[in-house]
Structure 1
Amino acid sequence: MRSLAGASYRTRPIRFLELWEHGGWRVKVYGIAAAAELPRPALVTAAKATAAQHLPREPGGDGRHGAAFLTVHDGADGTWVLVDWWANGNLLHHLPFGGDLADPAGELRPLTGGLAACTYELAVTDFERRAWLREVYAAERPDLDGYLAARLEAEV
C-alpha cells in the first residue's frame, strides 16, 4: 500500500470574492487557486454562467431560501466549480463541474461518478454548514442576512 505521508499537499488561499445576486438568488462566491492568490477572472465568469444555468428558477420555491454558495477552484490539474444551495432548512443541494485548466473560459461539464469535492473545497462547505447552522437552521431567530455576511478567508 502506498504511503500518503508527505503527499504533495500545499496550502491554498480561500478568498471570498463577492456576494453575487442573480435571478432572486444571493450567492456567496469563493475563490481557491493552486498557483495564485485568486482564480483567473475568466474562470469566475464561466462559473457564474454555469451557476446561473443550474440554480432553480424559483429561489423561494419548494422550501428554498434563495441562499447559495459558489466555489471556484483554479486547481493544479483542472478547473472545478461547485454550485450549492440550501433548501428545506437542512438540505444542501450540490452540483460539481469540471473544466480544462488550459481554457478557464471553456465549458464546465457536470461531474459524474460520485465525486463531491476535494479537501480544499470541503473547507468552504464546512464553513458554510457551520454558518448556516449558527445563523439560520439552529438559530432561535433565523437571520439569513447574518448567514450571507459570514465569509471565509483562510489558508487551507
Structure 2
Amino acid sequence: MKLSENYRARPIRFVDLWELGEWKLKVYSITYTDNPLASALVDTAHQVALARLKESASRTNHYAVGFVGIHQGKIGNFVFVDWWADENELHHHVYVSSSAEPDKLEYMTPSGLTACAWDLYLIGHERDAWVNHVLKQSEAPNLAGYLGARLNDDV
C-alpha cells in the first residue's frame, strides 16, 4: 500500500452550540489546513442538520441532544449529524460535498460511508462524554454536563 501523503494532525475545534427547536447540538470543525470553515459549508451543514432531525429523529426515542461535525477535508467536505437515543445508541448521518461546491452536500449514509479517522476521534470523544455524564449518572443523567464536555485538540 502506498499513501498519498504523510499523516499530519488536524485541528478539531468546538465551534458553537446550535439550538434548533428543542434540540441542542454541539458543532465542531475539523480542517485539513488551518483555514477557517467556508461559510457556505457551515450554512449548508445547518440546513441539513435541521432537515435530518425533522425527517428522522422524531422516529427515535431521543433526548434532543447530539453533535454535528463539519470536516473541511483535503479534496472534499464531510458533515455528520448525530444524536443519542434509547439511552446508549448513536444515530449517525453522513453528507459529502466537493471542495469546489461546499453547499452541495449529498446524503451518503445509505452508501455505507461512516467516518474518516479524524471523524472517529471526535465520535469517540462524544461517546466518552455521553458515558461519563449520562450513562454513569443513571440516578440523575447530566445533559448539561454532556453539552459542556467539548473537544479542542489537534489529532
Calculate the TM-score normalised by the size of structure 2: 0.90
Tell me what 1:151 maps to. 150
2:130 is the counterpart of 1:107 = no
RMSD over equivalenced CA pairs, Å: 2.0
Distance 1:50 1:128, change over 3 A: same
Give the C-alpha shift of residue 36 in structure 1.
2.0
More helix by share: 2
Give the C-alpha shift of residue 123 in structure 1.
1.0
Match of 2:64 among 66, 71, 80: 66
Q: Which amino acid is the alignment partner of residue 72 of structure 1?
A: I
| SS in structure 2 of the partner of residue 32 of structure 1 | strand
Please tell me whether the aligned partners of residues 25 and 59 of structure 1 are also in contact (alpha carbons under 8 angstroms).
Answer: no
Tell me what 2:96 maps to. 98
Cα distance between partner residues in 2 of 1:81 and 1:34:
14
Match of 2:17 among 19, 35, 39: 19
After the TM superposition, list the runs of 4 or more consecutive aligned residues in structure 1 that deviate by more than 3 angstroms: 56-62
- 133-142 vs 16-25, which moves further: 133-142
Cα distance between partner residues in 1 of 2:55 and 2:104:
21
Cα distance between partner residues in 2 of 1:27 and 1:150:
12
Cα distance between partner residues in 2 of 1:92 and 1:78:
24
| Unpaired runs of at least 5, structure 2 | none
Please tell me whether the aligned partners of residues 60 and 66 of structure 1 are also in contact (alpha carbons under 8 angstroms).
Answer: no
Q: Which amino acid is the alignment partner of residue 98 of structure 2?
A: D
Cα distance between partner residues in 1 of 2:77 and 2:53:
20
Tell me what 2:50 maps to. 52
Cα distance between partner residues in 1 of 2:21 and 2:104:
22
- 139-148 vs 54-63, which moves further: 54-63
Distance 1:61 1:137, change over 3 A: farther
Please tell me whether the aligned partners of residues 24 and 59 of structure 1 are also in contact (alpha carbons under 8 angstroms).
Answer: no
Tell me what 2:33 maps to. 35
Give the C-alpha shift of residue 21 in structure 1.
0.1
Cα distance between partner residues in 2 of 1:127 and 1:38:
22
| SS in structure 1 of the partner of residue 137 of structure 2 | coil
Distance 1:27 1:14, change over 3 A: same
Give the C-alpha shift of residue 76 in structure 1.
0.2
| Unpaired runs of at least 5, structure 1 | none
Give the C-alpha shift of residue 109 in structure 1.
0.5
Percent of matched pairs sharing the same residue:
39
Distance 1:118 1:58, change over 3 A: closer
Distance 1:33 1:138, change over 3 A: same
Cα distance between partner residues in 1 of 2:22 and 2:120:
26
